[in-house]
Structure 1
Amino acid sequence: MQELTIYESLGERELFIKKSPQELTPADIGVEAVRVVLDETRTFQEMDGFGASFTDSAAFLMNQILNEEQQAEVMQRLFDPNEGIGLSVVRNPMGASDYAREMYSYDDLPQGETDPALNRFSIAHDEQDIIPLLRQAVKWNPELKLMASPWSAPGWMKTSGSMIGGELKREYYEAYAEYFVRYIQAYAENGLQIYAVTPQNEPLFVPGHYPGMLMLPEVQSEFIKDFLKPAFRRNGISTKILCYDHNWDKPEYPLTVLNQAEEEVDGVAWHWYGGQASAQSEVSRAFPAKEVHFTEGSGGEWIPAFEPAFSNVFRTGIEILRNHSKSFVLWNMALDENNGPVVPGFGRSTCRGIVTVNQQTRELTYTLDYYALAHFSKIIRPKAVRIHSDSSVDHIRSVAFKNTDDSIAVVLFNDGEGVENVSLRLRGEAELSFSMAPKSAISIKAAF
């Protein structure tokens, strides 16, 4: 080995600390070590990267509440691969989500009016905060990939006549496909390429107090196959189409869509609010040519204490990657001291952002999600290929990648209740031995 780069987290007061090999806790002599072995001949998915979302709320906080110096600091720490953690995927709502200051789409009309030709389509709302921040992010990291998902079609396209509730009216399938085309084209005019879209965020969940829209799998299949993909082809759009965009507990949904619209779908997007990450592999085995993406997972007060929350991001993140995902994207890039702003009528929010921007004091703080993402994103870079890793005990969780510069990146998490000696075989005879405290994490990049 020519060089080792190591980051370690030992608890709330020691998060993502850069260390030399000599600064790691040495293994206890005479105590058997857990062996972690890598196999570079067994390869899996290529990574797009790690990230979060510039919701309306997050973009407002970062663009309007922070001063210029704070904004420059946080953008660098989020997106710069050298001085920051190099986030490389952003997945944004198309219009309002639950984390927005108002209800809005890109074609809002007075009650009773319709606009099937989309004459009043406009992304002016995004031009205030979201687009300026995305442009900055791309400057910090030119490899950044942008994904987009609507929480709802414009209200006039729906059976409810509102962005809340209802389904897409069949007579507006064509207009809704054109809505995606206009969005992608408008962002391109602002110098931003949309890498992938999903037809609907969480299509099986219809909230009663913020934007949402029921889209059953048969409807999604028809919409993609007969309307969305043809509209992309007509307009020379290469943006990928990912189906589903919901929890692990309903793998039958993406399986239905892929069975009915396989040629028009590029992959499946997943969330973590139900089920197990193994669902990703279940669908991938049935359709191995289709990409796997993890597009939303939020931490929050339902796991309030530091250790359980930090551990959850780690164990789940490792499982997401071990189950073939090309991306690992958390939720809000920023929230305020009250876990907001949220749409009117939402009630109390319990979600946690990657950073917290206090609207009263204007203080900027980095949450445990930032440091957990850092362990992955800092060393596993875009186009890295996952390689096989195997641990001799289940509670030493591992995931490993080979970067394009031939370096090896390994993330380890001790999910046990006791201290463990670990012996990591990197390449050939190169081996690293150290001790891991319970619920601690280590990220190692080895250059040869």
Structure 2
Amino acid sequence: MKNLKLYIVSFLVFMMMSCNENKLSVDVYETSASGNKLKQITAFVSGNNPAIITLIPEETFQTITGFGGSFTEASASLLNKLSKENREKILEAYFGEDGAQYSLTRTHMNSCDFSLSNYSYAPVEGDLELTNFSIEEDRDDIIPMIKEAMAISRDGFKILSSPWTAPPWMKDNKDWRGGKLLPEYNDTWALFFSKYIKAYKAEGIDIWGFTVENEPLGNNNNWESMHFSAEEMTNFVENHLGPKLKAEGHDVKILGYDQNRGEELKEWIDVMYRDEASSKYFDGTAIHWYASTYDYFPESLQYAHEKVPNKYLIQTEACGDSEVPKWQDDQWYWSKEATDWGWDWAPEDQKYLHPKYAPVNRYARDIIGCLNNWVDGWIDWNMVLDKQGGPNWFKNWCLAPVIVDPELDEVYFTPIYYTMAHFSKFIRPGAERIGFTNSDEHLMLTAAKNLDGSIAVVIFNQDTESKNMSIKLGQSTKDLQINGQAIQTIIIPQQ
């Protein structure tokens, strides 16, 4: 009898150990319409008919460059109007260890629509050697914002810089808006980029990369812009910008295009990378989402990757545009009330690309869709805007993850902020996207393995009902739940 009792005890211990060995260890964080904001979830109830999600870490795709937002004059000037406490609160939220830990950012060279006025670092007409070049316009706002973010960030972050236009005196229409760069200023405009790197370097700020021109197809001449065809931009990079930056010893990335995904992307890819000479100085391609904040155009993204699989493919700008933000109304960001410019203005044959769509859905769906189609970096537009959706000299109002009321010194972290953090905080630079299978087509997800061996799985449930899930990695599983209208990041420590 004694031996039988020992056998039973030993068997039970063995079974408990076996069960524990097959139980996946996870940390789960959720943001939801029900009120969770990156809340750690520890209690789960097993349910029937779970979605089966199987991770395949041996199947690897692109290496992640990073996630983040943009340093604009609009955002930086608003920070200047806030109390020191709230300024630090916002920057800590974006760059601190307890915050979103942004790792990839963007800023504008010269002014843009989210500036307070039109300006250029090279205002003197005929100054071919740019002896009067100065970044003085940035010293009161953008530069201090970047420096404070650098001081807060533990791992640092990359900065992409983009011009909206050359100074008007270099253009055929002599205007801030529209027009083309005159051929006689190709070398001067290339020198402008080099001067910019040096000036920012002198401030202690390293520029990681450039896009050649923000939205070279134009914006109907509404605000700062300069037009390039694919052939014109490729010629400028191949014969002027690339050689100039190389000759001056700048180790900086050059990304071409920098406008909407879709058929145009395919056309530009074909020209930029038509041969070794044309593609030599291009390190990658930049894209925007304004052709549709609903459709992420997987075919175009796949085409871009397959054409040049060793080049960057980075989403450099996205925002809920042409919309005044809703102040301290979380539910609006989860509801299908937001519109983008195309809701009113898109041609009839493109209206379907611009439906009313919840802002959180736009971000979560687009980032997951982009990542699953070879995009390696995703940058939001303004980090901070006011209750009007500005300041913006053209009154082109937009949303931002953080909205402020400078008069009352109040700050509102919208659900978009937490949506961005689900990616930026947990999928770190150098991570590799990995494969998975998913039995529930209503759940969107992506997965990546970080350099420390941990795996981050981001899942988005658009449905209003909660869903049961079973996450599998090798022989280990974990039963979980996700609320309706929720985003979860599941962290699996190194096995």
Normalized against structure 2, the TM-score is what?
A: 0.84
| 1:68 positional shift | 1.2
Q: State whether structure 2 residue 317 is matched by structure 1 residue 296.
A: yes
2:112: which partner in 1?
97
Tell me how far apart the structure 1 counterparts of residues 301 and 89 of structure 2 sit (CA, whole Å).
Answer: 36
2:485: which partner in 1?
439
Tell me how far apart the structure 2 counterparts of residues 84 and 148 of structure 1 sit (CA, whole Å).
Answer: 24
1:19: which partner in 2?
41
Aligned partner of 1:389 among 436, 439, 455 = 436
Gap runs ≥5 in structure 2: 1-22, 327-331, 335-357
Aligned partner of 1:129 among 137, 141, 149 = 141
2:88: which partner in 1?
72
Secondary structure class of the residue paired with 2:458: strand
1:370: which partner in 2?
417
Distance 1:36-1:301 versus aligned 2 partners, 3 A rule: farther
Whichever residue aligns with residue 436 of structure 1, its letter is I
Map 1:258-297; keep pairs closer than 5 Å.
258-259=273-274, 261-274=278-291, 276-278=296-298, 279-297=300-318
Q: Deviations over 1:235-282 (max 9, x none)?
A: 011100000011002121232112151111110111111153412221
Secondary structure class of the residue paired with 1:41: strand
Whichever residue aligns with residue 487 of structure 2, its letter is A
Residues 49 and 381 of structure 1 are in contact (CA less than 8 Å); yes or no, is this contact kept in structure 2? yes
Secondary structure class of the residue paired with 2:208: strand
Q: State whether structure 2 residue 488 is matched by structure 1 residue 421.
A: no
Distance 1:191-1:205 versus aligned 2 partners, 3 A rule: same
Aligned partner of 2:203 among 190, 195, 205 = 190
Tell me how far apart the structure 1 counterparts of residues 213 and 322 of structure 2 sit (CA, whole Å).
Answer: 26
Tell me how far apart the structure 2 counterparts of residues 321 and 331 of structure 1 sit (CA, whole Å).
Answer: 18
Q: Deviations over 1:385-405 (max 9, x none)?
A: 111122112221111111111
2:449: which partner in 1?
402
Secondary structure class of the residue paired with 2:150: helix
Secondary structure class of the residue paired with 2:93: helix
Whichever residue aligns with residue 289 of structure 2, its letter is W
Secondary structure class of the residue paired with 2:26: strand
Q: Deviations over 1:170-199 (max 9, x none)?
A: 110100000000001111111111111011
Tell me how far apart the structure 2 counterparts of residues 72 and 266 of structure 1 sit (CA, whole Å).
Answer: 35
Residues 272 and 297 of structure 1 are in contact (CA less than 8 Å); yes or no, is this contact kept in structure 2? yes
Q: State whether structure 2 residue 335 is matched by structure 1 residue 315.
A: no
Whichever residue aligns with residue 368 of structure 2, its letter is I
1:41: which partner in 2?
58
Tell me how far apart the structure 1 counterparts of residues 368 and 428 of structure 2 sit (CA, whole Å).
Answer: 15
Tell me how far apart the structure 2 counterparts of residues 340 and 391 of structure 1 sit (CA, whole Å).
Answer: 41
Bigger mean CA offset, 304-313 vs 368-377: 304-313
Whichever residue aligns with residue 156 of structure 2, its letter is E
Aligned partner of 1:5 among 8, 27, 34 = 27
1:306: which partner in 2?
333
Residues 12 and 306 of structure 1 are in contact (CA less than 8 Å); yes or no, is this contact kept in structure 2? no
2:181: which partner in 1?
168
Give the paired residue count.
434
| 1:2 positional shift | 8.3
Normalized against structure 1, the TM-score is what?
A: 0.93
Tell me how far apart the structure 1 counterparts of residues 437 and 297 of structure 2 sit (CA, whole Å).
Answer: 18
Tell me how far apart the structure 2 counterparts of residues 140 and 439 of structure 1 sit (CA, whole Å).
Answer: 32
1:85: which partner in 2?
100
| 1:3 positional shift | 5.3
Distance 1:301-1:444 versus aligned 2 partners, 3 A rule: farther
Whichever residue aligns with residue 254 of structure 2, its letter is I
Q: State whether structure 2 residue 70 is matched by structure 1 residue 53.
A: yes
Tell me how far apart the structure 2 counterparts of residues 136 and 281 of structure 1 sit (CA, whole Å).
Answer: 38
Q: State whether structure 2 residue 353 is matched by structure 1 residue 340.
A: no
Whichever residue aligns with residue 369 of structure 1, its letter is I
| 1:53 positional shift | 0.6
Whichever residue aligns with residue 142 of structure 2, its letter is I
Secondary structure class of the residue paired with 1:269: strand
Whichever residue aligns with residue 385 of structure 1, its letter is E
Tell me how far apart the structure 1 counterparts of residues 68 and 167 of structure 2 sit (CA, whole Å).
Answer: 27
RMSD: 1.7
Tell me how far apart the structure 1 counterparts of residues 177 and 392 of structure 2 sit (CA, whole Å).
Answer: 14
| 1:300 positional shift | 4.3
Q: Deviations over 1:47-100 (max 9, x none)?
A: 1211111111011111x11111111111111101x2111011111111111101
Tell me how far apart the structure 2 counterparts of residues 12 and 271 of structure 1 sit (CA, whole Å).
Answer: 30
